[in-house]
Amino acid sequence: MAIKSVPVEKKPVKRITTHVLRKMKAEGEKITMLTAYDYSMARILDAAGIEVLLVGDSASNVMAGHETTLPITLDQMIYHAQGVIRAVKRALVVVDLPFGSYQGDSHTALRSAIRIMKEAEAHAVKLEGGREIAESIERILSAGIPVMGHLGLTPQSIYQFGTYQVRAREEAEAQKLREDAKLLEQLGCFAIVLEKIPAQLAREVASSVQIPIIGIGAGPHVDGQVLVTHDLLGITRDFHPRFLRRYANLYDTITNAVMRYIEDVKSVDFPSEEESY
Ligand code: KIV
């Protein structure tokens, strides 16, 4: 496979907004979204042309090594988001509201969302769930904060689901998902992530709403795709869901580089005279 040269930053930069995403859907242009949790990676992804960066609560797994997304705190999400925002010139930055920061109490939800917008200067927030969290979504939207929904496999509910398997295979759950998607659109969400659901159901939902549907494990008939960057780059290794396409094997690349460094230091090949003062 030919390796393309690194794209040069072009000017002037036109920022991606929620309106741009809606227009992309209307015009049939697919939307690209990836996760980012830090400044250096966000800089690369933004310069490469990604339209949406998600400061996902998957940082809990990928950055902190937790088994689930539940332990990550609002303070930690804000810390990750601050680095990402400093890096970005073009992408829309969406930040996950972590578990426990919005469920059950819409006033707490609004306070959490405001902290993310104020302290990280994020562009939007993402929440998991449908009608159960409608009041929280409404309250956040009433403050002028754009909200992205997330339906299907919602990892913050993993202990309720009991497994990370495909959701909404049964008609009752599929019907609830259809209704939830409509509800999120009516409430005013600007987009919805659909995670790990049958492709035909995702297609149906995407054509039943005007707002963009971004899929992860939801097939090709949606308005855009999202992946966890560390999975796409092959930094994570022990995760092989069917929906994942790896575009690099950085685990091996990094291991080889570090092994060469160790060898060079041990043999006093590094630093050389040219690398010394
Ligand atoms: O936290 C995350 O990375 C996500 C994506 C999987 C959509 O929510």
The CATH number for 69's domain is 3.20.20.60
pLDDT at 46: 98
Q: Report the percent of the chain where pLDDT is more than 70.
A: 96
Residue 138 identity? E
Contact 62, 37 (CB under 8 A): yes
Checking if the pLDDT of 67 tops 80, the result is yes
Residues in Cβ contact with 30 at an 8 Å cutoff, skipping those fewer than 6 apart: 24, 223, 224, 225
Is 262 part of a structural domain of the chain? yes
Checking if the pLDDT of 209 tops 60, the result is yes
Residue 154 banded pLDDT, cuts 50, 70, 90: very high
Is 232 part of a structural domain of the chain? yes
pLDDT at 12: 76
Verify that 89 and 218 share a domain, yes or no.
yes
Residue 249 banded pLDDT, cuts 50, 70, 90: very high
Verify that 85 and 195 share a domain, yes or no.
yes
Verify that 98 and 179 share a domain, yes or no.
yes
Verify that 103 and 28 share a domain, yes or no.
yes
Closest residue by Cα to atom 2, ligand 1, is 56
Is 2 part of a structural domain of the chain? no
pLDDT at 142: 98
Residue 11 banded pLDDT, cuts 50, 70, 90: low
The DSSP H or E segment spanning 124 is strand 124-126
Is 11 part of a structural domain of the chain? no
Verify that 133 and 262 share a domain, yes or no.
no
Checking if the pLDDT of 4 tops 80, the result is no
Checking if the pLDDT of 1 tops 70, the result is no
- Residue 228 Cα to ligand 1 middle (Å): 7
Checking if the pLDDT of 183 tops 80, the result is yes
Verify that 241 and 263 share a domain, yes or no.
no
Using CA atoms, how far apart are residues 112 and 102, in angstroms rounded to an integer? 7
- Cβ neighbours, 10 Å, residue 135: 15
Checking if the pLDDT of 91 tops 60, the result is yes
Checking if the pLDDT of 10 tops 60, the result is no
Average pLDDT, the chain: 96
Q: Best substitution site from 50, 55, 58 to test ligand 1's pocket, by max atoms within 8 Å of Cβ? A: 58
pLDDT at 3: 67
pLDDT at 157: 95
Ligand 1: list residues with CB < 6 Å: 35, 54, 56-58, 96, 193, 195, 216, 226, 228
Which DSSP symbol is given to 54?
Answer: E
Verify that 153 and 212 share a domain, yes or no.
yes
pLDDT at 2: 61
Structural domains in the chain (count)? 2
Is 8 part of a structural domain of the chain? no
Of 195, 273, 274, 275, which one is the catalytic site residue?
195
Verify that 123 and 200 share a domain, yes or no.
yes
Q: What residues make up the domain containing 274?
A: 249-277
Mean pLDDT of the region 66-94: 98
pLDDT at 13: 85
The DSSP H or E segment spanning 179 is helix 171-187
Is 66 part of a structural domain of the chain? yes
226 CA closest ligand 1 atom index? 7
Residues in Cβ contact with 216 at an 8 Å cutoff, skipping those fewer than 6 apart: 193, 194, 195, 196, 225, 226, 227, 243
Between these two residues, 214 and 1, which has the higher pLDDT value?
214
Residue 195 a catalytic site member:
yes
pLDDT at 226: 98
Verify that 146 and 254 share a domain, yes or no.
no
Verify that 149 and 262 share a domain, yes or no.
no
Verify that 216 and 81 share a domain, yes or no.
yes
* DSSP three-state, residue 132: helix
